[in-house]
Chain A
Amino acid sequence: MVGMSMQPYGIQSMLKEGYRHLSGLDEAVIKNIEACKELSTITRTSLGPNGMNKMVINHLDKLFVTSDAGTIVNELEIQHPAAKLLVLAAKAQQEEIGDGANLVISFAGELLQNAEELIRMGLHPSEIISGYTKAINKTVEILEQLVESGSQTMDVRNKDEVISRMRAAVASKQFGQEEIICSLVADACIQVCPKNPTNFNVDNVRVAKLLGGGLHNSCIVRGMVMKSDAVGSIKRMEKAKVAVFAGGVDTNATETKGTVLIHSAEQLENYAKTEEAKVEELIKAVAESGAKVIVSGGSIGEMALHFCERYKIMVLKISSKFELRRFCRTAGAVAHLKLSRPSPDDLGYVDSISVEEIGGVTVTIARNEEGGNSISTVVLRGSTDSILDDLERAVDDGVNTYKAMCRDSRIVPGAAATEIELAQRLKEYANAEIGLDKYAISKYAESFEFVPKTLADNSGLNAMEIIAALYTGHGSGNAKLGIDLEEGACKDVSETKVWDLFATKLFALKYASDAACTVLRVDQIIMAKPAGGPRRDAAAAAGAGAEED
């Protein structure tokens, strides 16, 4: 009974075995900050046009070569809870704007790193949080003042204006090729832009990746590109009406199981005949309505196909429901559930629909030049799958930027000009502040310096010189002085034409500070025992090895 008096004390004794409990500054806060710092050092080198690519191999052994932070953090499968908060913030940014995920993670990492210094100085996390909150509110205020005048309104159908806003976003993913990609994306987006630009739907710009050729062979198709062949032998149709059937092209069947009742051989023959006649009647009705192309969402019966061939109707099969809906939008058709005679209003129209072979892949291209410009496809060409994937991400970012500018067309100077201006003005604000918040606000301002620093570092320039030059320029009143990475000098962004969208910056900064404050607010972590399941250590180790590149 000696041991009985030494009862375990504290929380650990109360939890189930396998649980971990971390609390206090050293154990929880500092550790969390360190994890977030690690994460941001990984993504940081990918920031900006000269950012490095990462090679990530995920748990399915799929290889990614990209500088897109959203993809990197997604595939890394972060385990650490605090770092995960940053990843979630980046994901939110990705969903909301579609660009700027790297800024979120890197900036949050920088904020936390500076917070750590403050904690070591003796500040309490809650004081840092209150300072950071003040700082972000002030930042939003300043950011609004930095908006380039005249950018509030834009013509979303003017290609030059669109490209000027899109370039920076695309260039950070595919530097040197941004002109080609921007032009493609801008064309595609402008084409599908609805009357009310705020209703622009990202889904209407499709990307078809076809191996072979190079970026220069890429083009825009006004319509859809499907990676499939036509079903019948008719492979080409011009200026054709289209009938769409969602439920398949075959004889009608009952829901309840049916049995054919046959008493004699004669009846059997008759049955086959009536069946045939029925199908012919249906197909004939379709043909008479003027349709020359049938698109089916389900199976296509042998017999039906036969009659389609006879009536010179081209048959396509699109089994994905969403793809079928998109096709309906392209052609302006109304999908029928069952095979029946379509009314003239329900028929769609395409300029041409043809099966072509590009780079060894058979594709069906449906073009609709005049009528409904509701879908456009960017056909990307590239030599390897990973290049294509990366191009696709650049295009996606471009399209998302277009969507964002349709909603809010305001722009701010890019190339770190905004960041330096923010840093400078926040510092002034911090100096005017009394109380402990002052330190946190000035650290927040300092955090902005990481953007020019990283941009310069990634381009092999001397970061310190650049930052000093930027500060001098901004101090003398030139709020638009940014880095020209090609010449390695400071230049006015209205010359280099590097603009960022206001909305991207705003959301990125807000999400980043939100995430940083959340990490700082946590002072205790209670971790459950990880649930069972297959171990993925091998894949994780491979991924960790790749990060070091």
Chain B
Amino acid sequence: MSVRVLNPNAEVLNKSAALHMTINAAKGLQDVLKSNLGPKGTIKMLVGGSGDIKLTKDGNTLLKEMQIQNPTAIMIARTAVAQDDISGDGTTSTVIFIGELMKQSERCIDEGMHPRVLVDGFEIAKRATLLFLENFKTPVVMGDEADKEILKMVARTTLRTKLYEGLADQLTDIVVNSVLCIRKPEEAIDLFMVEIMHMRHKFDVDTRLVEGLVLDHGSRHPDMKRRAENCHILTCNVSLEYEKSEINAGFFYSNAEQREAMVTAERRSVDERVKKIIELKKKVCGENDNFVIINQKGIDPPSLDLLAREGIVALRRAKRRNMERLVLACGGEAVNSVDDLTPESLGWAGLVYEHVLGEEKYTFVEQVRNPNSCTILIKGPNDHTIAQIKDAVRDGLRSVKNTIEDECVVLGAGAFEVAARQHLINEVKKTVQGRAQLGVEAFANALLVVPKTLAENAGLDTQDVIISLTSEHDKGNVVGLNLMDGEPIDPQLAGIFDNYSVKRQLINAGPVIASQLLLVDEVIRAGRNMRKPTA
């Protein structure tokens, strides 16, 4: 073979062998992720190299943690991860959709079809499906007052696929409220303004939304207040510690008094900065007011001591993001220099307190006015529970954000997939000329993998479910699958909605990658053996 001539060590798979390898890989990956899909999916346990445990139902996490080596599988995994990056959800659906497309193609190819013809059919079907999606979607009006019910339904649909029902329902409110909290008219939503903080404490159902901020550190001075009410908050990025000069400097002295003088002189500039803050405090604080400094840079022990004596609570080395969030939550502005301090630059919070959990300290800034930033405080008895909730919350936030930006949703529970399939088979296929029809058909059947898998995971009979769903659709009723009893339901009434952008991305990306894989007719790997990795 020609490549062998060029490089005798290269390994080549060609024609059908290459095709079957890619198809097998796609099917294999589909098999792994299949059981994750939907609210009835099972949990996978990932054990890391050091024995750390991760439990997940999230396709994205799974693909990231599993170190996949097969080249085809990597390609699919990347598409799925890209799906997650863009729309925040739908990773599992992407993988199984691609796997199903490959499976359907395999059948056609075994019957002698050329991959090229299939790919043409896919392209036609894809365009038709996207068009169908535009008509199928349910528009949602996102005015100044967002429709909370719809948002909740979307968030609930996403969360229920990641966590068990009770917890998911509780998180739904938290997620929706937090996105609405940071939403500003005329601006894109920046989800980073929702801080996600976790505490290893109590139970997962104790997770809550804090209107304000939770910082994962505390004041470093034993005499500072643990709890302060009516707080003026100074957000600043000013170094309050002695810093060595850039150049190599030294002091020369000949008696102890001179040295004492130098000790004070050395600290003077830092002390002055601290004094300015103290002056401001004296100016703004009344009898019952408190003053809190949250500094991005450091505060050294002598400065802390000065501040503590004035009754000021000081936190040092805050995260940069938290500085942004603080300003949004408490008002005021972040200060970079103490020279022009004004009372206007201060924020306000009703309550600032410290919570100690073993070695860890947390500072809560609560009861703020008109917050534009908030914190989701995740609690759970152990790390894997927390990680699981964290992933779910992230996806939940994304789904709410998507809905607000898309201004529309798609009926879930498999309703869209079945409807699109019926549309393709009944309408589109007839308009297509020639063999590409088979490509369209394969595409249409592949869409059914979502309701099929949902049914399979719920322990229902796949064929029964598909038959009953398609016949309802043919009657003109748009129905989805009720996972409890396997009967068709109206997703609109059950409140099951998916993101429009997730579906769009899925329809877009799936066929593209499947076509690419189908058109591969030679796999060449130089040097190493493909089947058994070298030891």
List the interface of chain A (C-beta within 8 A of B).
1, 3-5, 7-11, 13-17, 19, 28, 79, 81-82, 84-85, 88-89, 91-92, 95-96, 124, 126, 246-247, 251-263, 267, 270-271, 274-275, 277-278, 325, 328, 334-335, 337-338, 510-511, 514, 518, 521-531
CA of A530 to CA of B73, assembled, Å: 23
Q: Is B45 within 8 A of A81, CB to CB?
A: yes
Q: Name B67's contact: one of A19, A253, A256, A522 (CB within 8 Å).
A: A19
Interface of B is mostly: mixed
Q: Is B66 within 8 A of A258, CB to CB?
A: no
CA of A521 to CA of B36, assembled, Å: 12
List the B side residues contacting A82 at CB < 8 Å.
Answer: 45
The 7 closest A-B pairs by CB, nearest first: A92-B381, A531-B49, A274-B255, A278-B256, A88-B382, A527-B47, A258-B251
Query: What are 15 contact pairs spanning A and B, CB under 8 A?
Result: A16-B67, A16-B68, A17-B535, A84-B51, A126-B42, A254-B263, A254-B266, A262-B254, A270-B255, A274-B257, A334-B223, A524-B32, A526-B46, A528-B46, A528-B49
Which of B96-104, B195-203, B291-299 forms part of the interface with chain A? B195-203
List the interface of chain B (C-beta within 8 A of A).
13, 17, 20-21, 24-25, 27-29, 31-32, 35, 40, 42-51, 53, 55, 65-70, 73, 200-203, 222-223, 242, 244-245, 249-257, 259-260, 262-263, 266, 301-302, 305, 358, 381-385, 459, 531, 533, 535
Q: Is A256 within 8 A of B266, CB to CB?
A: yes
CA of A523 to CA of B535, assembled, Å: 30
List the B side residues contacting A334 at CB < 8 Å.
Answer: 223
CA of A112 to CA of B302, assembled, Å: 57
List the B side residues contacting A17 at CB < 8 Å.
Answer: 533, 535
Interface of A is mostly: mixed
Q: Is B381 within 8 A of A525, CB to CB?
A: no
List the A side residues contacting B255 at CB < 8 Å.
Answer: 270-271, 274-275
Known contacts A14-B29, A15-B68, A254-B263: does B45 contact A522 (CB below 8 Å)? yes
Known contacts A7-B17, A252-B263, A258-B250: does B53 contact A528 (CB below 8 Å)? no
- Give the most central of B44, B68, B533: most A CB within 10 Å: B44
Q: Is B68 within 8 A of A526, CB to CB?
A: no
- Give the most central of A277, A528, A530: most B CB within 10 Å: A528
Q: For B74, give the chain A residue with the smallest CB separation.
A: A14
Q: Is B49 within 8 A of A524, CB to CB?
A: no
Q: Name A81's contact: one of B24, B43, B53, B381 (CB within 8 Å).
A: B53
CA of A10 to CA of B242, assembled, Å: 61
List the A side residues contacting B358 at CB < 8 Å.
Answer: 95
Known contacts A7-B20, A278-B260, A514-B381: does B35 contact A523 (CB below 8 Å)? yes
Nearest-neighbour CB distance to chain B for A182, whole angstroms, equals 25
Q: Is A522 within 8 A of B43, CB to CB?
A: yes
List the A side residues contacting B249 at CB < 8 Å.
Answer: 256
List the A side residues contacting B382 at CB < 8 Å.
Answer: 85, 88-89, 91-92
CA of A529 to CA of B381, assembled, Å: 27
CA of A126 to CA of B533, assembled, Å: 38
CA of A252 to CA of B251, assembled, Å: 14
CA of A262 to CA of B256, assembled, Å: 12
Q: Is A337 within 8 A of B302, CB to CB?
A: yes
Q: Is B69 within 8 A of A525, CB to CB?
A: no
CA of A257 to CA of B44, assembled, Å: 58
CA of A1 to CA of B530, assembled, Å: 13
Q: For B222, give the chain A residue with the smallest CB separation.
A: A325
Nearest-neighbour CB distance to chain A for B439, whole angstroms, equals 25
List the B side residues contacting A247 at CB < 8 Å.
Answer: 301
List the A side residues contacting B42 at CB < 8 Å.
Answer: 126, 521-524
Q: Is A96 within 8 A of B202, CB to CB?
A: yes
List the A side residues contacting B200 at CB < 8 Å.
Answer: 92, 95
Q: For B251, give the chain A residue with the smallest CB separation.
A: A258
Q: Is A7 within 8 A of B222, CB to CB?
A: no
List the A side residues contacting B65 at CB < 8 Å.
Answer: 526
CA of A526 to CA of B535, assembled, Å: 20
List the B side residues contacting A14 at CB < 8 Å.
Answer: 25, 28-29, 68-70, 73
CA of A270 to CA of B255, assembled, Å: 7
